[in-house]
Amino acid sequence: MIEYLTTRDFLVLMAKMFAIFGGVMTALAYTTLLERRVMAFVQMRPGPNRVGPFGLLQPLADGLKFLLKEQTVPTNANVLLYYAAPIVSLVPALLSFSVIPFGPDLKMTDVSVSLLFVFAITSLGVYGIVLGGWASNSKYPLMGAMRASAQMLSYELSLTLSVVGVLMIAHTLSLAHLVTSQQGTWFGFIPRWNIFLQPVAFLVYVVSAVAETNRLPFDLAESEQELVAGWHTEYSGMKFAMFFLAEYANMVTVSALATILFLGGWNGPAFGPWWLQMVLPTVWFVLKIFCFIFAYIMVRASVPRIRYDQLMQFGWKVLLPLALANILITSLVVALT
Amino acid sequence: MIQILFFFFAALALGAAINVLAQKHVLYSSLSLIVMLTAVSGLFILLQADFLAVINVIVYAGAIMVLFVFVIMLLNLPADPSGEDGIDRMRWLKFAGIPLGIFLLLMIGATVWNVGISGNATQMEGSAEAIGQTLFTDYLLPFELTSLLILIALMGAVVFAKKDL
C-alpha cells in the first residue's frame, strides 16, 4: 500500500487527475463567461467586459463574490438536507469525469462499463435538485423540484435508449473502446463516426441531453417567470455556486458523451512533430465539446421555453417512440449483416 | 485493501438498512434506502460484477427511488404516520411481516445452498455479455414472463389512474 504511493504509476495518475480536474474546473468557470458574452452578442449588448481584458477575469470576480457572500438558511428549512443538496448535486457531476477519455492516454481510468457508469452517476444528481427544493421549505423550490424530477425521469429514458443503437454497432460499453471503434475513414474522406450510421439516435440524444441538463427550452424546473428561480430560489453564495457549477459540469459531461458516442471522440487528423501529435487528439476532443456548448448557448438565446404539458408529450410521444424504433431497425440491420 | 473496502461497504449497507426501519419520517427512510443500494453496488464491484453494480444504481437508486421520493414529496406526508387509523393498519402489517420474512430467509437459504457461498464470481466476471447470454438462453422463459408481468402491472396502473378509458 505504502510502496504504491511512491511508484511511477501512482504519480502519473495523480498528475492526470490534477490536469483533468483543474482543466475541467477552469473550463467550467469560463463557460459561464462564454455564455454571458455570447448571449449578449446575440441580443446586441456588449456583455461583461470591464473586469480584465475582454472581461476575462470576470469568472474570478464572480467566484470571489460567491465565496464572500453571507450564508443564509431559510426559516423552518431542513438544515441537514439544505446543506447536503448542493454537495449531492455537484459530486456526481464531477465524478463522471473520472472515466471520460480526453485523449489516447489522458484518462484517469476506464472500466469495462464506463458508459453505464456515467449514466448511473449522473442519474444520482437529480437528488440534489429534489432535496434542495424540498429542504428549502418554500413553495417555488418545491414546484421546481417536482418538475425537475418528472422531467429528468422522462428524458433519461430516451437518452439511455438512444445510445443502444451505437452500442450494438460498437459491441462495447467502454468509452475508450467506443472511441477506438470509430477510427479510420470510409472511401478515404468520410470519418468513420457513428453520427453517419445513427443520425436519428444522435438527434434524440442531443434533444434529451438538453432536457436532462435543465437548459432552455426545457428549463421548466427554474423557469424564472413562474417560479422565481426554481429549486435554488432559497440558495445564495457558495451553495448557489455549487448548483451552478453542477449544471455546467453536466452540460460538459453530456457534450463529451455525445462526442465520444457519435463524433469519434478524440479521433482527428494527427500531423506535425511528435509533441503536436500528442496534444492534437485532446485538442480535437475539446473543440468538439466546445461546438456542443456553443450550440447549447445559441439554442438558449434563440428558442422560447415550452409548456409543461408540451414537454411531457414531446418526451413520451415523440422522443421515446423514435428511440425505440431506432433500436428495432438497428438490431434488424445488425442481425442481417 | 479489498477487505477494508468490503467491511466499509457492508457496514454502510447494514447501517443504512437499519436506518430505513428506524426513521420515523418516510423521506429519511427512502434516502437511507438509496445509500443502502449504492453501498450494495460497491459490494458488487468488489466481486468484479461491474455491470450488475452499475445497473443496480441506474435502475434502483437512479430511477425507482426518484419515483419514491417524488411521490413522497407530492403527497407531503406527515412526519409521524402513527395516529388516526394509521396505527391499526401498522399492527396487522407487523404480523404479516413474520411469515413473509421467514419465506424470504428460506429463499435466500435455498439459493445459498444451491450455489454455495464460495462461488467463483471472479472467473465469471459480471460482464454484460455473460449476463445477456444467460438471460436469453437458460433463463429465457422466466425473463419473458417477468417482462409480461411488468407490462400487466403497467396496464393495471393505467386502468386505476384513468376512470374512463
Residue A173 lies in a domain: yes
At position B66, the amino acid (one-letter code) is V
Report the alpha-carbon distance of residue B41 to residue B49 in Å, rounded: 9
The grid coordinates listed for A118 are: 456515467
A interface toward B at CB cutoff 8 Å?
1, 111-113, 116-117, 119-121, 123-124, 126-127, 130-131, 133-134, 142, 145-146, 149-150, 152-153, 156, 160, 173
Q: How many of the other CB atoms lie within 10 Å of CB of A302?
A: 10
The domain defined by B1-77 carries CATH number 1.20.120.1200? yes
What ipTM goes with this model? Answer: 0.77
Task: Give the model's confidence band at B151: pLDDT under 50 very low, under 70 low, under 90 confident, else very high.
Answer: very high
Length of chain B measured in residues: 165
Residue A35 lies in a domain: no
Are the Cβ atoms of A149 and B127 closer than 8 angstroms?
no
In this predicted model, what pLDDT tens digit does every residue of A28-86 receive, in sequence order? Answer: 888 888 888 888 888 888 888 888 788 788 888 888 888 888 888 888 777 888 888 88
Cβ-Cβ contacts under 8 Å, B70 against chain A: 130, 146, 149-150, 153
**B131 part of contact set with chain A, CB < 8 Å:** no
In this predicted model, what pLDDT tens digit does every residue of B71-101 receive, in sequence order? Answer: 887 776 665 555 555 555 666 777 888 899 8
Residue A31 lies in a domain: no
Are the Cβ atoms of B70 and A112 closer than 8 angstroms?
no
Report the alpha-carbon distance of residue A137 to residue A77 in Å, rounded: 5
Report the alpha-carbon distance of residue B26 to residue B141 in Å, rounded: 37
Contact A119, A160 (CB under 8 A): yes
Are the Cβ atoms of A123 and B58 closer than 8 angstroms?
yes
Q: How many domains does chain A have?
A: 1
Residue A52 lies in a domain: no
The residues spanned by each domain of chain B are 1-77, 127-165
pLDDT > 90? residue A308: no
The grid coordinates listed for A42 are: 446575440
Report the alpha-carbon distance of residue B123 to residue B121 in Å, rounded: 5
Are the Cβ atoms of B55 and A116 closer than 8 angstroms?
yes
Q: In DSSP terms, which residues pair with B148 in a beta bridge?
A: none
Phi then psi for residue A322, to 5 deg, are -60, -45
Residue A19 lies in a domain: no
The grid coordinates listed for A293 are: 456548448
3-state DSSP assignment of residue B116? coil
Give the number of beta-carbon pairs within 8 Å between A and B: 66
pTM: 0.83
Q: In DSSP terms, which residues pair with A186 in a beta bridge?
A: A190
- Show the domain range for A314: 77-336
Are the Cβ atoms of A146 and B74 closer than 8 angstroms?
yes
At position A67, the amino acid (one-letter code) is L
Burial tier of A141 (Cβ tally within 10 Å: 0-12, 13-18, 19+): buried
In this predicted model, what pLDDT tens digit does every residue of A198-217 receive, in sequence order? Answer: 888 899 999 998 888 887 78
The DSSP 8-state label assigned to residue A210 in this structure reads H
List the single best residue of B26, B66, B72 to mutate versus A (max A Cβ within 10 A). Answer: B66
Residue A304 lies in a domain: yes
